[in-house]
Structure 1
């Protein structure tokens, strides 16, 4: 897997890096396999608090390596990963992880690369990052979960313009459009700092917050209100919640356990 994706975990934070810098981390079959394997492995890390996703070298991900993608369309109908097919899972899979995922973007973030980044909970980009919903350039449509992931992020007419034209835009415009959360001169450093801040919060509450965010995006008001009540009832009085209270009252850093109640 190291040939395509490198991963280290320290202090509850997974540092995940697409690792094909000589090809701008373009997506070939081996990269798809490595990303899916990484997502599956992350789902089994008990003490995981946050994930930072980035790309080695001069860019995050330049999209599909078209020369390598000769496998036909059979995998498009194969729902091997829950509701997602193989291609969708490399973007959608980040949303299914129980902890927040932060993408650090620089250089090219094109086509499938933008869809992978959109699977993160938060995206921090350099001002001169190059982004594009590029699929129409190749006569195809975005099909790596982008339409679901962009819902609620990018205004519908602006999204359609970006899809129809396949035009390129920089990090500053991406933030205005909604593809990017915010910009930073050093996105990876900012993403790691944010991950450390998240890792310092009650891990049970962070996981509950991510579940609620996902529920709010797809369910009606009645279901979301009921989910809020269930999550809160499980948190109140739990060991980590009481530790958060004690730490705040005494002015010290909390010491949480990763034996989650969920």
Structure 2
């Protein structure tokens, strides 16, 4: 793996870190591919019993790298399908991991990064954590994990209003 995703094993725990701190760990194509590889590595390693997913620097992740996307925007369904599949697969690799997964959030976990955190079994955050799906403000409801977390009615409220929230507020709504 390159340095877009760091993989470290501490005792029986694999620590996977998003590593683009200069871009608030904005996820690009390479990072998504490396996330999949890291999840698969943890899954296959019999000495790993749990996985912690976190971000380097001051953020978990600001979401997908919109600057990179704008520089090479897919055109039509044939170009969009592999992009969406890669995004989905990276998130679902943590959802389907047979070992316990923990999202250790600090700073923003927005859009696709919020989905990634929600795909983990346990979500923890320090007081700087901000969870949100700001793309909902653009009438783009692409959340595939949120309905499982909060139920369809709460998901619709979030989709129609757009939201960012603190960990304390999320705890009141998710528990």
TM-score band, normalised by the shorter chain? 0.7 to 0.9
Task: Please report how far the alpha carbon of residue 29 of structure 1 lies from its aligned counterpart in structure 2 after TM superposition.
Answer: 1.4
- Asked if 2 retains the 8 angstrom alpha-carbon contact of 1:128 and 1:172, the reply is no
For structure 2, the 5+ residue unaligned runs are none
Runs of 4+ in 1 over 6 A off after TM superposition: none
Q: Which has the higher contact order (CA 8 A, sep 6+)?
A: 2
Structure 1 stretch 160-169 or stretch 111-120: which is displaced more? 160-169
Is 1:161 paired with 2:157? yes
Alpha-carbon deviations, 1:44-80, whole Å to 9, x = none?
212210001101111101011111123515365459x
Report matched runs for 1:1-262 at 5 Å: 1-69=1-69, 70-72=72-74, 73-74=77-78, 76-78=80-82, 85-142=85-142, 146-147=143-144, 149-178=145-174
Instruction: Count residues in correspondence.
Output: 171
Residue 43 of structure 1: SS of its match in structure 2?
Answer: helix
Alpha-carbon deviations, 1:15-70, whole Å to 9, x = none?
11101111110111121121122122222212210001101111101011111123
Q: Greater strand percent: which structure?
A: 2
Task: Please report how far the alpha carbon of residue 160 of structure 1 lies from its aligned counterpart in structure 2 after TM superposition.
Answer: 1.6
Structure 2 Cα separation of the partners of residues 93 and 19 of structure 1: 18
Structure 2 Cα separation of the partners of residues 75 and 175 of structure 1: 38
Structure 2 Cα separation of the partners of residues 15 and 36 of structure 1: 14
Task: Please report how far the alpha carbon of residue 156 of structure 1 lies from its aligned counterpart in structure 2 after TM superposition.
Answer: 2.5
> Residues 76 and 46 (structure 1 numbering): CA distance in 2 closer, same or farther, change over 3 Å?
farther
Residue 141 of structure 1: SS of its match in structure 2?
Answer: coil
Residue 48 of structure 2: SS of its match in structure 1?
Answer: coil
Report the TM-score, using the length of structure 2 for normalisation.
0.87
Structure 1 Cα separation of the partners of residues 79 and 14 of structure 2: 29
For structure 1, the 5+ residue unaligned runs are 182-262
Task: Please report how far the alpha carbon of residue 119 of structure 1 lies from its aligned counterpart in structure 2 after TM superposition.
Answer: 1.1
> Residues 176 and 75 (structure 1 numbering): CA distance in 2 closer, same or farther, change over 3 Å?
farther
Report the TM-score, using the length of structure 1 for normalisation.
0.60
Alpha-carbon deviations, 1:222-248, whole Å to 9, x = none?
xxxxxxxxxxxxxxxxxxxxxxxxxxx
